[in-house]
């Protein structure tokens, strides 16, 4: 049999297994329950009712994969998607990406949780969050399901804020559970809520994004920006990622594999930033030895906050693989 034919047969079998009513065995790699403090530069959305895309998602090496049960899945496909996502969490090789599931809001989301909590999911992404009460309700349900399946490790949570109401409650939402590891914003729904157009430059959402960003920074969790929907335009994607990074976001959502490499490149510190950071840290250590907390480097004053930023750059460079630990 020819190689392409073999490959097709394998794919068809894997797709069939994802539709199966019986629960497949858990892959060894998918036994890992917790992913902790890690890079979340790219979160690739994959519609939960599209098995072929789910099977390939890990091969593009995003930091996180969001199996979506919400708006990319039509109503009549919701039941199929729950089965596919449940099985995928057990049997698909996601190549080390963090496994996230975006559930539906309200009571539909409660049903989604019943299918996925026992499947070693890492993060539940909760959409259309407007108040802390909503998070508290979902956390209660998650904890009940965790008890039933005997899992002790927490399931992390990322709320998506998508309305004026949610934006104004961003801080209370960020504080509503210790399992929240990041806060993000959904700009399509947010601009629809305001009855305005979403533009490529994004001025209309500056206030909302700043609110979400400050709520995240104030609570010590990751500020994660929305998706860039114009997925065939790499130049505008890079521009928007640079802007997100400049504001303080540490990751963005993405919808197409083409977007992953540019996003990772834009979030990695530049060579020049790394070498400057090294010089700053070295100079500061020397200054401290000489009994001063401030010194001059290339005509600029260097003091503690600048050293703090330099250390953040080195940490990020190591995490991105642009610098070795030693
Ligand atoms: N996840 C995994 N694989 C994806 C993907 C995704 N989000 N988007 C595209 N691909 C794959 C395609 O299946 C195709 O694979 P193949 O070469 O093996 O056939 C390859 O990447 C190239 O895709 P392309 O033909 O350029 O795009 P498309 O027309 O198949 O899909 C979209 C375009 C926008 C429909 C698709 O990217 C998508 O569904 N994105 C996610 C949308 C979503 O979840 N939205 C909700 C959150 S905002
Ligand atoms: Mg939305």
- DSSP code string of 171-194: HHHHTS-TTB-EEEE-HHHHHHHH
**Relative orientation angle of helices 234-247 and 260-267, to the nearest 10 degrees:** 40
DSSP-assigned beta bridge partners for residue 123: 100, 156
DSSP H or E segment with residue 121: none
Pick the residue whose CA is nearest to atom 29 on ligand 1: 256
DSSP H or E segment with residue 227: strand 222-227
Position 35 scores a pLDDT of 82
The backbone torsions φ and ψ at residue 227, rounded to the nearest 5 degrees and listed phi first, read -90, 155
Residues with Cβ within 8 Å of residue 319, at least 6 apart in sequence: 38, 39
CA 127 to ligand 2 center in whole angstroms: 6
Pick the residue whose CA is nearest to atom 41 on ligand 1: 255
Position 61 scores a pLDDT of 97
Compute the distance between CA of residue 133 and CA of residue 223 in angstroms, rounded to an integer: 21
Compute the distance between CA of residue 282 and CA of residue 246 in angstroms, rounded to an integer: 25
Pocket residues for ligand 1 (CB within 6 Å)? 44-47, 53, 56-57, 68, 71-72, 227, 255-257
User: What's the token pair of residue 182?
Assistant: 């990041």
Residue where the block lists tokens 């209660």: 140
Pick the residue whose CA is nearest to atom 14 on ligand 1: 53
With 0-12 CB in 10 A as exposed, 13-18 as middle and 19+ as buried, what is 81? Answer: buried
Pick from 190, 231, 257 the residue to mutate for probing ligand 1's pocket: most ligand atoms within 8 Å of its CB. Answer: 257
Q: Which residues does the chain have with pLDDT short of 70?
A: 1
Pick from 255, 258, 261, 263 the residue to mutate for probing ligand 1's pocket: most ligand atoms within 8 Å of its CB. Answer: 255
Position 9 scores a pLDDT of 84
Position 276 scores a pLDDT of 95
Compute the distance between CA of residue 259 and CA of residue 69 in angstroms, rounded to an integer: 21
User: What's the token pair of residue 79?
Assistant: 């039941």
Residue where the block lists tokens 């030693």: 326
Compute the distance between CA of residue 267 and CA of residue 262 in angstroms, rounded to an integer: 9
Return the half-sphere exposure (C-beta side, CA atoms, 13 A cut-off) of residue 288.
9
Position 7 scores a pLDDT of 75
Position 325 scores a pLDDT of 80
Position 37 scores a pLDDT of 82
Pick the residue whose CA is nearest to atom 24 on ligand 1: 256
Compute the distance between CA of residue 84 and CA of residue 17 in angstroms, rounded to an integer: 9
Q: For the chain, where are the alpha helices, taking DSSP H only?
A: 3-19, 51-57, 78-91, 106-116, 132-149, 164-168, 170-174, 187-194, 206-219, 234-247, 260-267, 271-289, 304-320
Position 10 scores a pLDDT of 85
């Amino acid at each position: 049999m020819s190689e392409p034919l073999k490959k097709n047969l394998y794919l068809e079998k894997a797709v069939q297994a994802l539709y199966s009513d019986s629960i497949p065995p858990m892959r060894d790699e998918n036994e890992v329950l917790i992913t902790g403090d890690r890079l979340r530069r790219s979160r690739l959305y994959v519609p939960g009712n599209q098995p072929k895309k789910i099977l390939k998602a890990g091969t593009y090496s995003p930091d996180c994969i969001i199996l979506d049960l919400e708006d990319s899945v039509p109503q009549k496909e919701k039941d199929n998607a729950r089965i596919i996502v449940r099985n995928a969490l057990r049997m698909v090789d996601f190549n080390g990406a963090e496994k996230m599931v975006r559930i539906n809001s309200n009571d539909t989301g409660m049903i989604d949780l019943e299918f996925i909590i026992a499947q070693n999911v890492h993060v539940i992404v909760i959409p259309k969050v407007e108040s802390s009460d909503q998070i508290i309700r979902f956390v209660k349900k998650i904890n009940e399901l965790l008890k039933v399946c005997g899992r002790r490790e927490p399931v992390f949570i990322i709320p998506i804020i998508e309305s004026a109401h949610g934006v104004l409650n961003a801080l209370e939402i960020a504080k509503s559970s210790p399992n929240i590891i990041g806060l993000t914003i959904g700009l399509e729904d947010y601009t629809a809520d305001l009855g305005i157009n979403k533009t490529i430059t994004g001025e209309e959402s500056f206030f909302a994004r700043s609110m979400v960003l400050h709520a995240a920074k104030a609570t010590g969790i990751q500020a994660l920006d929305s998706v860039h929907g114009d997925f065939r335009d790499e130049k505008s994607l890079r521009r928007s990622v640079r802007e997100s990074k400049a504001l303080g976001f540490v990751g963005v959502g993405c919808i197409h594999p083409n977007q992953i490499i540019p996003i990772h490149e834009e979030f990695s510190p530049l060579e020049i930033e790394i070498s400057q950071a090294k010089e700053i840290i070295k100079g500061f250590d020397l200054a401290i030895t000489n009994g001063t907390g401030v010194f001059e480097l290339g005509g600029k004053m260097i003091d503690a906050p600048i050293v703090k930023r330099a250390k953040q750059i080195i940490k990020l460079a190591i995490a991105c693989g642009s610098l070795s630990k030693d």
